[in-house]
Amino acid sequence: MKKLLLFILIFFIFIISLYSLPIITFENEVHDFGDIKEESGPYERDFIFYNTGDEPLKITKVKAS
């Protein structure tokens, strides 16, 4: 009986934790860069996003391709 109660408690804690997650939402999910000529110099583009979740959003390990 104690094992069952412990399992139920852990299950509910897990379910409750799923409802408070950071959620990243991008203003535009697709951008066509078109033809970019190297001699034109660097090209910059801002990607606007929002945290629409309930917890802080941490962005780590960003890599440029």
List, for residues 29-39, the tens digit of each pLDDT value: 888 888 888 88
Tell me, yes or no, whether 37 lies in a domain: no
Tell me, yes or no, whether 38 lies in a domain: no
Tell me, yes or no, whether 22 lies in a domain: yes
Query: Which domain, by its residues, includes 17?
Result: 1-28+47-65
pLDDT single digits (tens) 5-17:
888 888 887 877 6
Structure confidence at residue 51 (pLDDT)? 94
| Secondary structure of 16-56 as H, E, C letters | HHHCCCCCEEECCCCCCCCCCCHHHCCCCCCCCEEECCCCC
Tell me, yes or no, whether 34 lies in a domain: no
Task: Look at the chain and report how many structural domains it folds into.
Answer: 1
